[in-house]
Amino acid sequence: MEVVENVSETTIVSVEERAYVSSGFINRNGRISKLREKPLSKCSYCEWPVRTSRAHRVVKRSLDLLGAVILLALFSPIMLVVAIAVKLTSKGPILYTQSRLTERGEVFKMHKFRTMRVDAEKIYGPRFASVRDPRVTPIGGMLRKYRLDELPQLFDVLRGKMSLVGPRPERPELHGELELSIPKFRSRLEVKAGLTGLAQIKNGYASDDEGLRKKVALDLVYINHQSLLMDLGILLKTVPVMLTGSGAR
């Protein structure tokens, strides 16, 4: 999809905290629109609330429902195998629920296949995942690599708490800290959290300062230029990311 390919030129220079979109969004007239280079901390192109038409919201929600049902039907055999594998290889529940933030700061319970030890939170506390993370179970590493642990979030899409495409939901415990250190981080709450997003297909997993700033820049790009065509492109681009396990932790 051309819309998403052009977004690959989005970069961020961490020293100056600048997000630059050189080109990449086709407006209604079919012309390329551009955003000027500007300091991320002074970006004014992401205002509350993001204005999308009622028709766009209705169609997006309808496609979320349709897409979630289709994906659940396609992935149900894999989800069954994963559930059995999780149960047989480690103690604890199959599913893991965790509080996350979605549109307008609403807290909701997000569902995942459990990939970590049941006592991980008690021992290590809330933190980002890392390479060779001691909290991750043997099979959990594989599930995280290919994003199979995220499949139960299709039910969260059906519940209306998430969208198929949008910024990934963050934990309330970490959000406040990140909001203080990264300009415009709160702007990610202007749309529903997503199962996948522009930042995931272009930036992969981010846990350091530079990576998180790139993620925010890409999330802001999506929020302000979202379209059904872009959503479709991101969904298609997610497939090779899952198959190759790129950018996972």
Q: Where in the chain are the domains?
A: 64-244
User: Is pLDDT above 50 for 46?
Assistant: no
Q: Is the pLDDT of residue 1 over 80?
A: no
- Give 110's strand partners: 98
C-alpha angle with apex 134: 76 to 101, nearest 5 degrees?
Answer: 55
pLDDT at position 209 over 50: yes
Average pLDDT, the chain: 78
Percent of the chain scored above 70 by pLDDT? 73
pTM of the prediction?
Answer: 0.77
Q: Quick one: average pLDDT of 203-223? A: 83
pLDDT, average across residues 5-31: 34
Q: Is the pLDDT of residue 49 over 70?
A: no
Mean pLDDT of 162-178: 93
8 Å CB contact between 144 and 136: yes
The confidence score (pLDDT) of residue 197 equals: 94
The two three-digit tokens of residue 174, written as one number: 């970490």
Q: Rounded mean pLDDT of 149-169?
A: 97
Place of tokens 């977004």: 7
131 token code pair: 């390479």
Taking residues 210-229, report their average pLDDT: 87
Q: Per-residue pLDDT averaged across 55-60, rounded? A: 93
The pLDDT value given to residue 28: 35
The structure tokens 């955003």 sit at 35
Tokens for 69, please give them. 């049902």
pLDDT of residue 25: 34
Residue 91's SS3 state is: coil
Window from 38-52, 104-118, 192-206 with minimum mean pLDDT: 38-52
The per-residue pLDDT for 128 is 64
Average pLDDT over residues 233-248: 86
| CA dihedral angle for residue 200, residue 77, residue 73, residue 92, rounded to 10 degrees | -60
> pLDDT tens digits, residue range 98-147?
999 999 999 999 999 999 887 766 666 666 666 667 788 889 999 999 99
Mean pLDDT value across residues 184-188: 89
List CB contacts of 132: < 8 A, sequence separation 6 or more.
none
For residue 237, what pLDDT is reported?
92
Mean pLDDT for 32-51 is 41
Residue with tokens 């990610």: 188
Q: What tokens were used for 5?
A: 């390919």
- pLDDT-based confidence at residue 2 (cuts at 50, 70, 90): very low
Q: Find the mean pLDDT for residues 175-203.
A: 90
